[in-house]
Amino acid sequence: METISLNCANCGAPLSVADYATTVTCEHCGAKLGIKYDDGESPRDSADRTTPDKEDAPSSEEKPRARTEVLEVVKAGVEVIGAGVKVVDRVSSVFFWTKVTIVAIVVICVFVCCVVPSLVFFGLFSERFRDTDEAKTNSGGTVVEEKDQSGNDAAGGVEKSPVVNDPVPVQAPMDLGKAIAQLNHPDPRVRDQADKVVRRLDADPELMVRQCLEDLNSDERKSAALGRLASLEIAPPLHKSVVAAVGPLIRRHQLPEERVETLDVLAKCFPLGIPKMVEAMQNLAYRREAVQRLRQAGPVVETFVWVALKNDDYWLHRDVCELLAEIGTERSIPQLKSLAQTTNQQIVTKAARSAIGAIVAANRQPVDVPAAPKLIMLEKE
């Protein structure tokens, strides 16, 4: 009950309130008062609830006994929980080791049923292949000879028994002439054996270069011949022949590594290879690698680079201006000024003026090109 008054709030006179009465009137002053009860409660019940009897309150002796009983119940509950945890741990550990045992059994079965038979199978076949290889080779190594359509040996004309899908082994030791002829053979095993013979007998690099030039005409041997040319020292008397054989490759489709090797071979043939490198720079697939090698050559190649300015590709003009800014001398300034005045591309004009400023700031000295036949200079095609 929220508000109960047994005296008048106006005059203080005592009031007589009936059970469950909602209003009461003071007999002395006539004031009306409202009474609010809790649900199902009378004023008498409210008074009884607010003033409990002393007999109903627990005694001081009963409180420790109740506390002891509560502690015993809590202790029993803790013991029950501990026993349950032990049971769960024991059951979970049993399940864990059961799973481990099952997995181990499965792994052993798979190994016995699959892996062991496979090892035995491949072991038998490897022995068979080893026996076949030993039957084809001698103790000194295998040398493969090419055969013409008549079935005769290409080198000595000796007829050998045909072998289907396998090169024809030669039991005789390889001499230097045969080793050089097999330097660029499609079979890497044959190339390795030929390399060993060439290194052991100290073959003449000129003979190997000529063999590589001959093998450039073969689609099967071209890639190996190009890679070997890039690794050989090319004597100046052979530069013209090498440029004539390797130069046309820049107009063909090549793999990235073949393009790099082609430019490396042309760079070895300085200065005869420089015009072909400038021509390669006009091919977008070769441009980055060609510009890098021309930059490494320095001012000596600036006069060759001017030819690329006759091309209609303004992106090429920009790259040429950037190259001349790094290697150019005062001799390139007239070419750059003419380009800046005639082009209608703002990017080219900006690059040409920037190159002129870089050349003036660098103040490089012109370098004369070594003597070379004029017929190999790049011509506009």
Domains in the chain: boundaries: 1-51, 74-108, 287-381
Reading the chain (381 residues) residue by residue, the pLDDT tens digits are: 444 557 777 787 777 776 667 777 887 787 777 776 665 555 555 444 444 444 444 555 555 666 777 777 777 777 777 776 676 666 666 666 776 777 778 777 766 676 666 666 555 545 554 554 544 444 344 444 444 443 444 334 444 444 434 444 443 456 888 889 998 999 999 999 998 998 888 889 999 999 999 999 998 999 999 999 999 999 999 999 999 999 999 888 788 888 999 999 999 998 899 999 999 998 888 999 999 999 998 999 999 999 998 888 989 999 999 999 999 999 999 999 999 999 899 999 999 999 999 999 999 988 887 654 333 333 333
**Contact between 287 and 319 (Cβ < 8 Å):** yes
Q: How far apart are CA 35 and CA 17, in angstroms?
A: 9
Q: How many CB atoms lie within 10 A of CB 11?
A: 11
Q: Which helix (H) or strand (E) holds 224?
A: helix 222-231
Q: Is the pTM of this model over 0.85?
A: no
**Contact between 324 and 332 (Cβ < 8 Å):** yes
Q: How far apart are CA 28 and CA 31, in angstroms?
A: 8
